[in-house]
Copies of this chain bind each other. A is one copy, B any other.
Amino acid sequence: MYASAEELVFDIAELASFELFSPVVDETVWFFRDLLGMIETARSGDSVYLRGFEDPYGHSLKITHRDTPGMGHAGWRANSVPALHRRVEAIERSGLGRGWVEGEVGMGPAYEFTTPDGAVQRIGFEVAYYEPPAEQRSVVLNRVQRRPLNGVPIRRLDHLNLLSRDVTENRRFFAEQLGFKLSEHILFSDDTEGGAWLRAMTRSHDIALVKDGVGGGGRLHHVAFLYGNTQHLMDACDVLTDNGLEIEAAMASHAISQAQFVYVLEPGGNRIELVGSAGYQVTDPSWQPVVWAQDAIDDAIIWYGSELPAEFDTYGTPVVGPTNYRTPNRYAATEAGMILGGRASV
């Protein structure tokens, strides 16, 4: 029998939006809109806003021009206004708060802060909902709009993964200041944490933190979008391969989270994960975090299937050090009907 007097915190509802930096905004937009079926909803300054067809808000992805790829910020939504204020107070006590930000397209006031590694995060509650034009309304009334007719459309934003200088320090920050719950983690043989997967509500993880072996942390390992089934991963691979994108790993299955995945570099050089089946849900309130020892890590990352390339552990954006990955030029690829040229990332 298991009993605990401890209350679980459910103050954060979800990852609601994500800002990605790209040196080639047009190509990055082409990737998400033409290949992955996202809908462009706004442009403002150096930024383009998009959403998946089941993302409820005005945007879930903001692509902003910067010379170097990476993450702008991750935008979390609180479960209520009081929950927002509880989290802001906790963040302020941690000393990592930066203050309220206003004026983001389709977003109400949000409180900006950083992780211990310096990755920028925001938390808010008010948000503008997407109103589809009449001809895009679906007979499936719980669906924001119709399934798009372009590309292999992803459904919605899923989670993010940050390369971390010190996984434990960052994991504690998310747990203690934001109320995230630990689902699984990797313990190296020296007892340091190699990675941690945390959930806000019940999906297996909304954020993952993995050891940054080559950089100082705070870098983007990947941001993930959800399909919900295996076949769409395969359809996406068809399209991505023929359009010259670098597929880093595909169609394997993580033991951690039990999700099937594709990792691909978008033209700006950021790693994007496409998720098939979403993996397990944690509704058990007494869930004991799963521990993966060092010698089980391979099983943890790839349940079955082939090896991941060595750069899976080190490549992130901004890129640190040399890389073998290439981010092919869209137009070269399109003109030649093949991967003819390319551009080494960074």
Contacts and interface: CB of A to CB of B under 8 A. Distances in A.
Interface of A: 1-8, 10, 13-14, 34-35, 54, 56, 77-83, 108, 125-129, 132-143, 146-147, 149-151, 183-184, 200-204, 228-232, 234-235, 237-242, 247, 249-253, 255-258, 260, 262, 277-278, 280-281, 283-285, 290-292, 296, 299-300, 302-309, 334-339
B147 A149 contact: no
Contacts of A150: 149-150
Q: How many copies does the complex hold?
A: 4
A149 to B, nearest CB: 5
6 smallest beta-carbon distances between A and B, as pairs? A306-B306, A231-B231, A14-B283, A137-B337, A237-B304, A134-B337
A7 B262 CA distance: 37
A300 to B, nearest CB: 8
Nearest to A242: B146
A31 to B, nearest CB: 12
A239 B241 CA distance: 25
A99 to B, nearest CB: 20
Contacts of A252: 250-251, 305-306
Given A13-B284, A150-B149, A201-B283, A255 B140 contact: yes
Contact of A127 (B1, B108, B242, B278): B1
A148 to B, nearest CB: 9
B277 A228 contact: yes
A7 B80 CA distance: 6
B78 A239 contact: no
Nearest to A14: B283
B147 A235 contact: yes
A140 B183 CA distance: 13
A306 B307 contact: yes
B142 A255 contact: yes
14 contacts: A56-B284, A77-B285, A78-B285, A79-B285, A135-B335, A140-B255, A140-B299, A202-B281, A229-B230, A230-B230, A231-B231, A231-B232, A305-B305, A306-B306
A5 B82 CA distance: 6
A334 B242 contact: no
